[in-house]
Structure 1
């Protein structure tokens, strides 16, 4: 669990560094076996979405974390980076509104930037 929180901090900072919008962290470990945390963010256009994804992959890779799976690279409107205990969703603004993962996972605990210690 402790390493997953470290991964969340690294990914959050990487998203913030590339000006990711509305970065949300949802702790889901008590309501799902999928992961401990979801991180949701969006970019304003496809190049920024790609930059956000590259930033996260680079930052986590430098610490030895490699994604188990990546989905959606071609479309660049919703890219999922699956690191096992941490799943990162990077959306275009429109797709984020459409899929509304925050509503779907509203039973999870929203974790603030301050709680993360970022």
Structure 2
């Protein structure tokens, strides 16, 4: 059975949180674009952590029978895009996230409350 976009979002957020991703933000882009339902943006402290976050997300999506359409930028350690069809994930290193400021580009998109998906820090 295919995961709903909400279930997929939760798998992504929990996997990222387990690897201590920073400033995880989910945007509901339904109605704003046809490329997906949610954009998830986060960052790691360094290239090694970015790689660990990406690996955890990919592994957990596979484990939950989700489909990974494409992974781009994995070797750079600066910005990796994971296309899960309904959920588009952006994993940045800290500097790149500030430079590209994806959240500002999609400021019309409502933020999704992910507080129930992450551990208190």
TM-score, scaled relative to structure 1: 0.94
Gapped runs of 5+ residues in structure 1? none
Q: Secondary structure at the match of 1:110?
A: coil
d(CA) in 2 for partners of 1:4 and 1:16?
18
Aligned match of 2:81 = 80
Structure 1 residue 69 corresponds to structure 2 residue 70: yes
The answer as to whether partners of 2:67 and 2:85 remain within 8 angstroms in 1 is no
In 2, Cα distance between equivalents of 1:31 and 1:93: 26
**Matching residue of 1:50:** 51
Deviation of the 1:96 alpha carbon: 0.2
Gaps of 5+ in 2: none
TM-score w.r.t. length of structure 2: 0.92
Q: Which residue of 1 aligns with 2:31?
A: 30
